Amino acid sequence: MAGFDRAALERALDQVPQRFKGPGGVAGVVKDGHVIARRAWGYRDSTARLPMDAGVRHPICSITKQFTCGVLLDQIGDPAVLDARVAEYLPEYVEALPTAKQLCDNQSGLRDYWALTVLHGAVPEAEFRRKDGLALLMRMKTGHFAPGAAYSYCNCNFRILAELIEAQTGRDMAELYATSIFAKAGMTTAVLSPDTRSPVDGLVGYEGNDDIGFLPAQNGITWIGDAGISASLDDMLAWEVYIDATRDDPDGLYNRLSVPPLYGDGTPAHYGYGLRHEVIAGAAVTGHGGGLRGFRSNRIHAASERLSVVVMFNHEANAHAATSWLMETALGHDVKPQGIAPRGWDGLWLDEAQGLAVRVAQDATGLTLRYATGPARLTVADDGVARGPGVTLNRAPVGMTMQRTTENLTLTARPVSAAGPDDSAPVGRYWSDELEATLVVDARDGGCFAGFDGMLGAGPMERMYPLGKDLWVITTRRSMDAAPPGDWTVQVHRDGQGAVVGLTVGCWLARRISYRRV
């Protein structure tokens, strides 16, 4: 690092609207406890021509998670106090229950309930009430790994925490956020606004991009704990100033929130108390992003540099990329990944343990890996190993190994042969005992589609494509939450005579869900 470069930072801030195109946004920087830059551009409502400004409150979405954990630490102290009550919200769960701390650290092993809304037949714009979230939680029977063993992003962890906190304190989260967080940090206009149907301050979020255009997003979610706070740029910068002002207090709230997390076996983890731990521009950083259809936000804090960056868009550009780029610029960090032209990486594999397809496509500069919630870019080094943020791929004689350090996961995937012309779609109706929900597969004249029916209704028919022998993918590009779960891997199971008897369906956020043919 070359040190702090304010002039370069100012130039980069001026470039954000062109580099991350959309209707509007805000960005700000705190250095050494002072706000040194604020930007607001575009419009909060393009149709009404209402300009954006630093006082407009945005739904900060999942950035809320750290504030939920902050309320827990401020009002209750030890998360273990809540452990005995976790079962109240998972009454049908038959496996080991997570602790409250494992909920805080996304180590519960629970499947994400926003991903499960797709399997329960949700229409993206439909209303999702607070009681619907509770009903979905109370149907859960199993998870996708043992609590404390690994990491998986899971919104319902923080929904359960909010319910536990309210039950334990006898106070609602709106009041608790206000007294434990907003008042102390000087976030004078921040509020809990859990109903996404009514964004505050006339702010409109937009789906789309600069290539296809932008349309106002319609949301119907009511959420609390996992998201729900609305705050202005000025509010968020006040939070960063508060973090700096309490930096030398070991009992300060942010110091307690940002303590280095561990897995159950003592291995260092990368997520704890609603904060992601990563390295940007050579500096250890804590922060979090947020997303709802039509909105993206991100905040990061480098304690060693006393530097924080906040970005919020009312569109779906990559806010994490924006904050990272601004911090890299401010710290004079301009290291470009070096790699060699990849060869022999194109292919399809199956991670049988997770039940997920692994797809790799190569181009002149690297690899695109499709496995988790979205495509990841990797670079192949001289040693023949492909690397990207938190991911390493190695080719093996009989498959591929993948290390995902941020999830505490190492896996082996076997190659899958391509689908043949006679590999017909698994047309039929299927029932999941886990979800108490139905999947319908329909195919006509070469087209194949899948529809999910459950407690939230009858969802849209989604595209379903063959990947390999008895391996299919269902694509979900829009859902109630953002980002959507993406691709669902579908494994077809047959009896001894070759007849289809069931399916296993899963995505990164909700793995290995069994369906039987009915």
Instruction: Tell me phi and psi for residue 509, to 5 degrees.
Output: -85, -15
What is the rounded distance in angstroms from the CA atom of residue 289 to the CA atom of residue 299?
6
- Segments in 297-351 forming alpha helices (H): 319-330
Residue 461's identity, in one-letter code, is M
Nearest to 205 by CA among 295, 329, 305: 295
Query: How many C-alpha atoms does 441 have within 13 Å on its Cβ side?
Result: 25
Cβ–Cβ under 8 Å, residues 195 and 222: yes
Both structure tokens of 52: 């954006």
Give the separation between CA 195 and CA 118, rounded to whole angstroms.
19
- For the residues of 29-60, what is the DSSP string, one character each? EEETTEEEEEEEEEEEETTTTEEP-TT--EE-
Contact call for residues 381 and 340 (beta carbons, < 8 A)? yes
- As a whole number of angstroms, the distance between CA 277 and CA 280 comes to 10
Q: Which one of the listed residues 31, 65, 232, 514 is annotated catalytic? A: 65
CB 180 within 8 A of CB 192: no
- The HSE-up count of residue 90 (CA atoms within 13 Å, CB side) is 29
Structure tokens of 202? 């006339």
The residues, ordered by sequence, that sit 6+ positions from 286 with a Cβ below 8 Å of its Cβ are 257, 258, 275, 276, 277, 300, 301, 303
φ, ψ for residue 197, nearest 5 deg = -70, -20
* Contact by Cβ (8 Å): 512, 355: yes
C-alpha span between 70 and 236 (Å, rounded): 15
Residue 454 to residue 451: CA distance in whole angstroms: 10
The gap from C-alpha 214 to its chain's centroid, in whole angstroms, comes to 22
Query: What element of type H or E holds 119?
Result: helix 113-119
Known catalytic residue at 65: yes
Q: Which of 31, 62, 432, 514 is catalytic?
A: 62
Q: Compute CA 479 distance to the chain's CA centroid, rounded to the nearest angstrom.
A: 13
Q: Characterize 109-118 residue by residue with b for buried, 16 or more Cβ atoms within 10 angstroms of its Cβ, and e for exposed.
A: bbbbbbbbbb
Distance from chain centroid for Cα 139: 22
Report whether 283 contacts 259 (CB < 8 A).
no
ω into residue 483 within 30 of 0, thus cis? Answer: yes
The rounded distance, in Å, linking the Cα atoms of 464 and 451 is 10
SS3 432: strand
Residue positions annotated with a catalytic role: 62, 65
